[in-house]
Amino acid sequence: MSEEQQANSNVAEKMEGQPRGLMTLFFSEMWERFCYYGMRTLLTLYLVKSLLKGDAEASLIYGAYTGLVYAAPILGGKMADKYLGYRYAVMLGAILMAIGEFLILGGSEHMLLIGMGALIIGNGYFKANISTIVGKLYRDNDPRRDSGFTIFYIGINIGALLATTVVAYVGETYGFKYGFGLAGIGMLMGLIIFYTGRDNYAAAEGLEITEAGKKKVLGPLSMVHVITFGSLLLIPLCYILIQQNELMDYILVGLFIFIAISMIMAGMKEDKEKGTVIWKDRMIALIIFMIINITFWACFEQAGTSLTLFADRNVDRVMFGWEMPASMTQFFNPFFIITYGSIFSVMWVKLAKIGKNPSIPMKFALGIFQLGIGFLVTLIGLQFANEAFQVPILTLVFLYMLHTTGELFLSPIGLSMVTKLSPQSFSGTAMGAWFLSFAIANYVGGKIAAMTGGHSESGAALSVEEGLNNYTEIFSTIGFVLLGIALVIALFNKPLKKLMHGVE
């Protein structure tokens, strides 16, 4: 807890000059992420060790689940924009997520999939809309916005740090059900903070249920009631999609095409209404950044699958006579986020003041470059493998450190960028579209993870030595591909900036 308290103290100092509601949203999101990452941290190991799934099947289930988690905000954002308002949407999402965690305590694959369904739908309402509320605390061109979103992102990672230490340790040491139960309690904490602190963020626009949402559409039931009950009916659909995850190929590609067309049309409509020529171009730029985002996160999200199994089998995790649980190795990422996050939030402001702040495309390129270098660290670790074919834990320390600095160049800037590039009337849906890119990335990440690890293409188990060679070969290939992509983005920096029409 001392690390959490220190991080909270550092963040509190940076809160000076920020909108009052940012603190409430910070802690609400922190506990929601405790819930989500608590589930995510244990999921692959739970599937492999308790439900006895193979590596590939576990990775594809994980990819389908996390993909749907990030696809759901498209629906959640749209429903909040049109009917629910952002406050009700966030609260509905929190309740569904808590229910989902507690359902998993049933201990069977059946209950796991039902719980996953509730978590997916709940996250759809919570995630996109709390980020949108943060954006609406700031006026257009407010120089505090990037710093504010970075502070918000630190809150996310304090929750992730607690999940990947406390929940991971409890889950692997005392039983997975205790870890999942703790995650559910965390979500209830987030709900309480969000509701009791509602006056602090009351200045944000779009919080209240809309007139369309209050309209009676089914006897005495308003549109809000219909959407709330209808959300429960989506849980069985998620169950089927996770089980039959090959259907996700068609759904995610179809959604991406649909949302891309919708964004361009919304930009054209905005240009026509305001007599401008910028919004269509900005929407095209946002679509391009979505594709770049998919590339980054499909590789980054190996943390919950292939990198966790790599840690379990091929990393020497003994330190001072204590063996760190494999799931706890995921804590390096949020630890480095908290360590460097405040530095980065100040850095962007100082660089902007002296006119040296990198453009958004260059930040994305630099983020992907660091991600690639992180994967290449495994080649160095291979040179120091012990007789049990395990690389030193420092391999993961440096890998996650580089992944984290890459993430700080890209992710909090990405959230801020969406609110800048999208028209006010389209902001919730645009944020949902941004999370669709995470959905596709997580699903693709599951497919990448299915190619790594402890089994050959024929399904035969690999030896520990063969597994180590397989992991490092695939990780290094990913690294070299990422370096090439970073170079291409850097070369197209100026055309991308032109499409953004002055957005910095």
2 inside domain: no
Give pLDDT, residue 454.
Answer: 62
Give pLDDT, residue 456.
Answer: 57
136 inside domain: yes
Question: Crossing angle, helix 145-162 and helix 2-14, to 10 degrees?
Answer: 170
Domain enclosing residue 326, as ranges = 13-500
Give pLDDT, residue 1.
Answer: 42
36 inside domain: yes
Give pLDDT, residue 444.
Answer: 95
The mean predicted confidence, pLDDT, of the chain is 89
pLDDT digits (tens, 9 = 90+) for 382-431: 999 999 999 999 999 999 999 999 998 887 778 778 888 888 777 767 87
Question: Crossing angle, helix 306-314 and helix 394-421, to 10 degrees?
Answer: 170
3 inside domain: no
Place of tokens 């244990």: 42
Give pLDDT, residue 467.
Answer: 87
Give pLDDT, residue 5.
Answer: 43
Give pLDDT, residue 3.
Answer: 43
Residue 206 and residue 424 in contact, taking contact as beta carbons nearer than 8 Å:
no
Cα separation of 393 and 397, whole Å? Answer: 6
| Residues with Cβ within 8 Å of residue 15, at least 6 apart in sequence | 22, 23, 151
Residue 478 and residue 303 in contact, taking contact as beta carbons nearer than 8 Å:
no
Count of beta carbons in the 10 Å neighbourhood of residue 354 = 7
Q: What is the CATH number of the domain that holds 93?
A: 1.20.1250.20
* Dihedral of the alpha carbons of 326, 327, 330, 334, in degrees to the nearest 10: -130
Name the percent of the chain lying above pLDDT 90.
62
For the entire predicted model, the pTM comes to 0.86
5 inside domain: no
Give pLDDT, residue 446.
Answer: 94
Give pLDDT, residue 162.
Answer: 94
| Residues with Cβ within 8 Å of residue 131, at least 6 apart in sequence | 152, 415, 431
* Of 129, 113, 135, residue with least CA distance to 47: 113
Q: What is the pLDDT along the chain (504 residues), one digit of tens a residue?
A: 444 444 444 444 455 578 889 999 999 999 999 999 999 999 999 999 999 898 899 999 999 999 998 888 878 888 998 999 999 999 999 999 999 999 999 989 999 999 999 999 999 999 879 988 998 888 777 778 877 877 887 888 889 999 999 999 999 999 999 999 999 999 999 999 999 998 999 888 889 998 999 999 888 899 999 999 999 999 999 999 999 988 999 989 998 999 899 899 989 988 888 888 899 999 999 999 999 999 999 999 999 999 999 999 999 999 888 999 999 999 999 899 888 877 887 888 888 888 888 889 999 999 999 999 999 999 999 999 999 999 999 999 999 999 999 998 887 778 778 888 888 777 767 877 887 898 899 999 999 998 876 655 555 678 888 889 999 999 999 999 999 999 999 999 999 999 998 887
4 inside domain: no
488 inside domain: yes
User: Number of folded domains in the chain?
Assistant: 1
Place of tokens 């999101």: 29
Give pLDDT, residue 453.
Answer: 62
- Tokens encoding 158: 């304090």
23 inside domain: yes
pLDDT digits (tens, 9 = 90+) for 15-51: 557 888 999 999 999 999 999 999 999 999 999 999 9
